[in-house]
């Protein structure tokens, strides 16, 4: 079985049907072990405003936002049934060392991973610790870290048919820091969650 990293865009958290839509999307994908992470959406946008008002240190705010992503992860855990959870570094290390197994795309193959379990100060991601790095680039990092066969960035915005990842970066659909990991990420797909 292949391994697929799926980043659920934070702006999707405001969709009343997110739980059902995400579950349906996962079931419709080719069989894979899904490793899900969740973006920050409006919660992180509010922190961005605070950082500007108070002229806060970008690196400090970056790690503050990473810690806040535990809350958006919790929202997805509440609305999507059957997700396994990884919430700390030890559990992530054990999980990432085990190869994906099984032959079907079952609920047991869906794991929600807390971003601070694998992305933390000194983790060696090579990503800038500022606003250039969002959960898009962090998903790409998770893909390289776990040797995922595919990384999918699920968005709430329209994603033009046939657009390349480079064009997604240029147009702001995904963050600039993702480009840092592109040579190592492999198959990266950006799409709107139906």
Reported as a single tens digit per residue, the pLDDT across 73-119 is 999 999 999 999 999 999 999 999 888 865 444 445 899 999 999 99
CATH at residue 150: 3.40.1160.10
Residue 77: domain span = 2-192
* Residue written as token pair 């059957």: 82
189, containing H or E segment? strand 187-192
Q: Are strands 110-113 and 84-86 parallel, antiparallel or unpaired?
A: parallel
Domain count for the chain: 1
Helix, strand, coil percentages for the chain (3-state, nearest 5): 45, 15, 35
Q: pTM of whole model > 0.75?
A: yes
Give residue 107's pLDDT: 44
Q: Which of 189, 2, 26, 32 is nearest to 104 (CA)?
A: 32
Are 173 and 155 contacting, i.e. CB atoms less than 8 angstroms apart? Answer: yes
């Amino acid at each position: 079985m292949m391994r697929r990293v799926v980043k659920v865009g934070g702006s999707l958290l405001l969709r009343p049907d997110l739980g059902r839509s995400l579950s349906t999307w996962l079931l419709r994908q080719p069989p894979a072990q899904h490793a899900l992470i969740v973006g920050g959406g409006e919660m992180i946008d509010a922190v961005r405003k605070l950082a500007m008002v108070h002229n806060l240190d970008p690196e400090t705010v970056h790690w503050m936002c990473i810690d806040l992503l535990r809350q958006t992860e919790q929202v997805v855990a509440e609305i999507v049934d059957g997700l396994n959870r990884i919430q700390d570094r030890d559990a992530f290390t054990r999980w990432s060392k085990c190869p994906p197994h099984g032959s079907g795309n079952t609920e047991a193959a869906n794991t929600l991973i807390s971003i601070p379990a694998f992305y933390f100060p000194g983790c060696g991601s090579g990503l800038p610790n500022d606003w250039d790095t969002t959960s898009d680039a962090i998903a790409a990092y998770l893909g390289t870290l776990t040797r995922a066969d595919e990384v999918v960035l699920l968005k709430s915005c329209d994603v033009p048919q046939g657009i390349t990842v480079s064009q997604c970066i240029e147009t702001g659909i995904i963050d600039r820091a993702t480009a840092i990991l592109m040579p190592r990420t492999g198959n990266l797909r950006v799409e709107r969650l139906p």
